[in-house]
Amino acid sequence: MRDEASVLDLDPKSTVAGGVRDVYGEDTATEDQFVTPWTLSVAAGYSLLRDPHHNKGLAFNDKERDAHYLRGLLPCSGFSGAPGEETDAHYSPVSTSIAKVHGHDGSSVYTPTVGEACQKYGRIFGRPQGLYISFKEKGRILEVLRNWPEKNIQVIVVTDGERILGLGDLGCQGMGIPVGKLSLYTALGGVRPSACLPVTIDVGTNNEKLLNDEFYIGLRQRRATGQEYSELLHEFMSAVKQNYGERVLIQFEDFANHNAFDLLAKYGTTHLVFNDDIQGTASVVLAGLVAALNLVGGTLADHRFLFLGAGEAGTGIAELIALEMSKQTNMPVEETRKKIWLVDSKGLIVSSRKESLQHFKKPWAHEHEPIKTLLDAVNDIKPTVLIGTSGVGRTFTKEVVEAMASFNERPIILALSNPTSQSECTAEEAYTWSEGRAIFASGSPFAPVEYEGKVYVPGKQCIHFPRIWSGFDNVCTIRVHDDMLLAASEALAAQVTQENFDKGLIYPPFANIRNISAQIAANVATKAYELGLATRLPQPKDLVKYAESCMYSPAYRSYR
């Protein structure tokens, strides 16, 4: 039997059969497709308290406790505020990193806590928080997607667990990353939790320790590669489009670079895809650099950039800096790239290495003598900006930071590798070794540092990703364009105030986070309209207000 909806050219999500939205796909399913027998029920009593969507914990008031058979199941102390109030109060004195991952501390939802959570995921696995798709599901991925209880999905964060932060291959336990990043999207970007879908594609792991770990929760096989891998990914990408349509954002996260660049290129023309490690990072880091110019002076083109790490994050950031420089100076991007140098595990990327380089490194192979170490590269190139994206901790040594401080009045030092253990240096090291002159930001957070009587507040760069996304969603864009990433950078940089600069900050702090997110979303949306990539028409008059109105607010609702 042919799919009736496609024959009639109907949007499968539009009303069918009696004017009811066919959200479960039953009316449009063919005879050989599976249909899930969904039922609706009203939770009460003990089961209501076990339902994370509806449980308000100690915030249930007396009337609700009576109406929903909750008497005696909760202590009588009540809380009236927002979600989290009671859990913070209840758990913080005893909280550990892992307790935070269970949702008791929003500010620690992502790095570094999420790294530890992934390493221990098998041991702390409680209830499923996303979809696991492995070879066992090959040929049935559409059916698996339909098992997810929420139907109106706006953003999927998907990983295959091969490069989890700087911790390497954590296989299926990488699920902590999509869960963590989507939690940030909700908390900071205002994305409704029910519209978020975390997915882990389990193709095995090459992590021997996990393969031999009795608590490992994934497939116990070495990673599938080549055609087998591409076919599973392709089935997933096709099923997502079939189930959720064109407009769902698929964010690739923490794939190893030998797959990440190819997936982005392959699906960039057919799906709304975004790689946060390549594109989101670039946009956020560029914003920090543009803001830092207020402290150091000059334009981007007046600076020299050196990266330790030439993978997804390093080359992604480098490319966006070169693009922005090119727009500002009207120089071709091939020229502006020459202001940017990268070091990988074999040393400085130079033209004599070109033949053996991975494709994403080739544009950075400039004419230069080979250099083996970072310290030698720093002393030779004399960068004004040093960026760590190597995934290797403690690589910005005292000598490296001192060298940066010897030829820069205010060296810009970004230690972006996550989690904290992999950070290229700590905030304290950056400030003390540069005698308080470094402008420092990191991927994983560091506490403020006191040096010679002055308090320095390091920038937390990682919290700024989610804001970009809402710009895509608000206007229903169907493709991500580099100019939209530049628009996000511009708006984020513009949110750093003089007061922030006075403290040495190059990113805005948490206060007013929703408003800042709305400004970024609006700038991204404006660019999407300019590029003709926004499908929400007519264009809302005030895009900031519109972005704010689209944001989900985590408030407990009253139950009848």
Ligand X SMILES: NC(=O)C1=CN([C@@H]2O[C@H](COP(=O)(O)OP(=O)(O)OC[C@H]3O[C@@H](n4cnc5c(N)ncnc54)[C@H](OP(=O)(O)O)[C@@H]3O)[C@@H](O)[C@H]2O)C=CC1
Question: Which amino acids are annotated as binding site for (S)-malate, given as ranges?
Answer: 163, 418
Does 277 engage in binding with Mg ion (CB under 5 A)? yes
Pattern 346-365, ligand X, x by CB under 6 A = x-------------------
Residue 445 beta carbon to ligand X: minimum distance, rounded to whole angstroms: 11
Which positions from 240 through 259 interact with Mg ion, judged by CB under 5 A? 253-254
What is the phi/psi pair of residue 396, to 5°? Answer: -90, 90
Residue 229 CA to residue 226 CA, distance in Å, equals 5
Residue 360 CA to residue 258 CA, distance in Å, equals 10
Report yes or no: 442 and 413 within 8 Å, Cβ to Cβ.
no
Query: What is the signed CA dihedral for 311, 312, 316, 319, rounded to 10 degrees?
Result: 40
110 is catalytic: yes
Residue 198 beta carbon to ligand CC(=O)C(=O)O: minimum distance, rounded to whole angstroms: 14
| Identity of residue 21 | R
Does 308 engage in binding with ligand X (CB under 6 A)? yes
Place of tokens 């864009």: 477
Which positions from 97 through 156 interact with ligand CC(=O)C(=O)O, judged by CB under 6 A? 111
Does 424 engage in binding with ligand X (CB under 6 A)? no
Report yes or no: 230 and 236 within 8 Å, Cβ to Cβ.
no
For residue 157, give both structure tokens: 């964060």
Total length of the chain: 560
Residue 292 CA to residue 517 CA, distance in Å, equals 20
Residue 253 beta carbon to Mg ion: minimum distance, rounded to whole angstroms: 5
How many residues touch Mg ion under the rule CB under 5 A: the total is 3
Catalytic residue among 151, 181, 339, 527: 181
Angle at 162 between CA 158 and CA 164, to 5 degrees: 75
Residue 461 touches which of ligand X, ligand CC(=O)C(=O)O, Mg ion, none (CB < 5 to 8 A by kind)?
A: ligand X
How many residues touch ligand CC(=O)C(=O)O under the rule CB under 6 A: the total is 8
Pattern 459-498, ligand CC(=O)C(=O)O, x by CB under 6 A = ---x------------------------------------
Residue 15 CA to residue 13 CA, distance in Å, equals 7
Residue 277 beta carbon to Mg ion: minimum distance, rounded to whole angstroms: 4
Per-residue CA distances from 53 to 47, 48, 72, 149 (Å)? 11, 9, 21, 12
The binding site for a divalent metal cation comprises 253-254, 277
Does 389 engage in binding with ligand X (CB under 6 A)? yes
398 is catalytic: no
Residue 465 beta carbon to ligand X: minimum distance, rounded to whole angstroms: 7
Query: What DSSP character marks residue 222?
Result: P
What is the phi/psi pair of residue 249, to 5°? Answer: -85, 130
Per-residue CA distances from 191 to 25, 157, 275, 279, 414 (Å)? 24, 13, 18, 19, 28
Residue 125 CA to residue 199 CA, distance in Å, equals 15
DSSP string, 47-106: HHHT-TTT--GGG--HHHHHHTT-TTTS-S----SSTTHHHHHHHGGG--HHHIIIII-G
Given 279, 418, 470, 523, the residue binding ligand CC(=O)C(=O)O (CB under 6 A): 418
For residue 314, give both structure tokens: 């390093």
Q: Closest Cα partner for 350 from 310, 302, 400, 387?
A: 310
Helix, strand or coil, per DSSP, at residue 37: coil
Does 445 engage in binding with ligand X (CB under 6 A)? no
Which positions from 243 through 272 interact with ligand X, judged by CB under 6 A? 257
Does 344 engage in binding with ligand X (CB under 6 A)? yes
Does 277 engage in binding with ligand CC(=O)C(=O)O (CB under 6 A)? yes
Catalytic residue among 110, 121, 431, 507: 110
Pattern 52-91, ligand CC(=O)C(=O)O, x by CB under 6 A = ----------------------------------------
Q: Which CB, 197 or 278, lies closer to ligand CC(=O)C(=O)O? A: 278
Helix, strand or coil, per DSSP, at residue 202: strand
Compute the Cα dihedral for 450, 281, 276, 53 and give only its sign.
Answer: positive
Residue 151 beta carbon to ligand X: minimum distance, rounded to whole angstroms: 31
Residue 131 beta carbon to ligand CC(=O)C(=O)O: minimum distance, rounded to whole angstroms: 20
Binding interface with ligand CC(=O)C(=O)O (CB under 6 A): 111, 165, 254, 276-277, 418, 443, 462
Binding interface with ligand X (CB under 6 A): 163, 165-166, 257, 277, 281, 308-314, 343-346, 389-392, 416-418, 422, 443, 461-462
Binding interface with Mg ion (CB under 5 A): 253-254, 277
Catalytic (active-site) positions: 110, 181
